[in-house]
């Protein structure tokens, strides 16, 4: 069941999202060759807790970190470890915060140093598709208008899209209804209405659609080992249209 949020609740979610955007801005600055993912995770946890928040991913179904840290062929749910980042790595950082009972969720992909043009194009296209999906998140449209906008933009480039995972309602919990596929499949297609707060999150592969889960039972990787990228914002649907709640310093839509 979709939980509609009132103005007071949206304001609370907005505060949680603002904190998350500032934490991701700070974390992004730590993504350099030689940086140790586990230390970036610790820094993120401190930033969240110092601001009075709680890392929403830490302990969620047993997840061991505050930050999902997915490198290169890892799509999502990577565990920040001890292997230092290297020039050319592609890092997807996904984080969620609970602040005063309100939840936020956002992800970004960052290149470590110089990366090949085809990776730059993948990153640009996938990020564009996030904003096309957000643009479709307005009253009068339906849920699958978001899915279609994301799918079409990436599929036109020949990229793979990850089927089993997608966006979701968010705000009073980390994951709420509805599921927002990055495919246009079967299933419910509700009309979008003011008061909905959703996380929109394309996961886009340079190669095919298929993914597998590693033996750590968390890390989702592309089956063909191709590079994958991930962009996510928490968005409130208002009578005037979408409001991006997790826009950070480098916001340029
Ligand atoms: Mg997320
Ligand atoms: Mg999410």
**pLDDT, tens digit, 9 for 90 and up, residues 153-187:** 999 999 999 999 999 999 999 999 999 999 988 88
Q: Has residue 49 been placed in a domain?
A: yes
Instruction: Return d(Cα 143, Cα 132) in angstroms, integer.
Output: 13
Provide the H-helix boundaries in 29-116: 37-50
HSE toward the beta carbon, residue 119, CA cutoff 13 A: 18
Q: Has residue 253 been placed in a domain?
A: no
| HEC profile of 218-241 | CCEEECCCCCEEECEEEEEEECCE
Q: Which ligand is nearest to the CA of 57?
A: 1
Looking at residue 19, which CATH number applies to its domain? Answer: 3.90.230.10
For residue 248, the model assigns a pLDDT of 77
Q: Has residue 188 been placed in a domain?
A: yes
Ligand 2 geometric centre to CA of 233 (Å): 8
User: Does the pLDDT at position 66 exceed 80?
Assistant: yes
Which domain does 125 fall in, by range?
A: 7-244
Q: Has residue 142 been placed in a domain?
A: yes
Instruction: Return d(Cα 35, Cα 87) in angstroms, integer.
Output: 10
Tokens of 216: 């750590």
Instruction: Return d(Cα 43, Cα 46) in angstroms, integer.
Output: 5
Kindly calculate the radius of gyration of the chain based on its CA atoms and give it in whole angstroms.
Answer: 17
Ligand 1 geometric centre to CA of 107 (Å): 5
Count the neighbouring beta carbons within 10 Å of the beta carbon of residue 208: 14
For residue 126, the model assigns a pLDDT of 98
Mean pLDDT in residue range 234-252? 88
- pTM for this predicted structure: 0.97
Ligand 1 geometric centre to CA of 83 (Å): 22
Ligand 2 geometric centre to CA of 76 (Å): 10
Q: What are the beta bridge partners of residue 228?
A: 205
Ligand 2 geometric centre to CA of 207 (Å): 22
Q: Has residue 201 been placed in a domain?
A: yes
Q: Has residue 177 been placed in a domain?
A: yes
Ligand 1 geometric centre to CA of 95 (Å): 6
Ligand 2 geometric centre to CA of 200 (Å): 7
User: Does the pLDDT at position 250 exceed 80?
Assistant: no
Q: Is 88 exposed, middle or buried (0-12, 13-18, 19+ CB in 10 A)?
A: middle
Q: Has residue 252 been placed in a domain?
A: no
User: Does the pLDDT at position 195 exceed 60?
Assistant: yes
Q: Has residue 76 been placed in a domain?
A: yes
Q: Which ligand is nearest to the CA of 69?
A: 1
Q: How many domains does the chain have?
A: 1
Instruction: Return d(Cα 43, Cα 66) in angstroms, integer.
Output: 10
Per-residue pLDDT band at 253 (split at 50, 70, 90): very low
């Amino acid at each position: 069941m979709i939980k509609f949020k009132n103005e007071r609740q949206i304001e609370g979610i907005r505060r949680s999202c603002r904190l998350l955007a500032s934490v991701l801005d700070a974390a992004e600055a730590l993504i350099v060759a030689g940086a140790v993912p586990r230390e970036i995770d610790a820094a993120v946890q401190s930033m969240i807790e110092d601001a009075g928040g709680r890392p929403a991913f830490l302990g969620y179904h047993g997840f061991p970190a505050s930050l999902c840290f997915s490198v290169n062929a890892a799509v999502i749910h990577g565990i920040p470890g001890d292997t230092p980042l290297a020039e050319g790595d592609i890092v997807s950082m996904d984080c969620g915060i609970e602040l005063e009972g309100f939840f936020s969720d956002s992800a970004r992909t960052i290149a470590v140093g110089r990366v090949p043009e085809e990776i730059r194009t993948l990153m640009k296209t996938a990020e564009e598709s996030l904003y096309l999906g957000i643009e479709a998140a307005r009253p009068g449209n339906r849920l699958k208008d978001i899915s279609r906008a994301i799918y079409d933009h990436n599929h036109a480039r020949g990229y793979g899209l990850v089927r089993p995972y997608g966006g979701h309602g968010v705000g009073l919990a980390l994951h709420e209804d509805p599921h927002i596929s990055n495919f246009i499949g079967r299933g419910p297609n509700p009309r979008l209405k003011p008061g909905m707060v959703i996380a929109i999150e394309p996961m886009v592969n340079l190669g095919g659609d298929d993914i597998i889960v590693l033996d750590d039972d968390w890390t989702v990787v592309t089956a063909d080992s191709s590079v994958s990228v991930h962009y996510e914002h928490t968005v409130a649907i208002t009578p005037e249209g979408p409001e991006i709640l997790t826009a950070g310093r480098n916001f340029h839509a």
